[in-house]
Amino acid sequence: MIREALEHRVIEAAATDVRLARTEFDGAGKWLTAVGQGPSEPLAAEVWVFDADLARVLLVHHRWRGWVPPGGRVEPGETPREGARRELFEETGVKAELLPEPAVATVRSYGPGWAATLGLSFVAVVDGATPLVAESGQPAAWKSLNEDWASYFPEDASRIRQHARWLREVSGRS
């Protein structure tokens, strides 16, 4: 009974985040509705961390995915937002408040032959001088939004840049 209540809490939180996401790709909402009939897994969450000028993004170098936003699997009983904050801290040492609305909801496979996963991309804006404490074997670095970086998900760079432009517009920094 407790497991069912936790799964319901996770699915409800994920559904809310999908509805709030600025952009939805790959039929994320429909995918989640179908998965909502069963267990809450798999779910993934990441954080697009921008510096205060919205000119750089914080990325980690995954051993085979290349440069990607900090993130990973949402643990059982954990909401996507909770998982995103935890993963950000584990991979970079950065503690940050996430903006209320996720940037993107998408469905993708995080590895060859892996099951499709709902991924939620949350956003945080932090001081670019915040010290980084990278996870062992996975360096963290600020990347200029004007430069390219190699990633397993090549579409992410343009999605991240587009979101930074939107944030500049709505914050009056354009």
pLDDT tens for each residue of 16-62: 888 888 887 877 777 777 765 554 457 899 999 999 999 999 999 99
Residue 161 lies inside a defined structural domain of this protein: yes
Residue 72 lies inside a defined structural domain of this protein: yes
Residue 157 lies inside a defined structural domain of this protein: yes
Average pLDDT, the chain: 87
**pLDDT value, residue 5:** 47
Here the CATH number for the domain that contains residue 50 is 3.90.79.10
Decide if pLDDT at 136 tops 70: yes
- Return d(Cα 117, Cα 109) in angstroms, integer: 6
Q: What is the pLDDT of residues 86-111, one digit of tens each?
A: 999 999 999 999 999 999 999 888 77
**pLDDT value, residue 126:** 97
Residue 174 lies inside a defined structural domain of this protein: no
Residue 54 lies inside a defined structural domain of this protein: yes
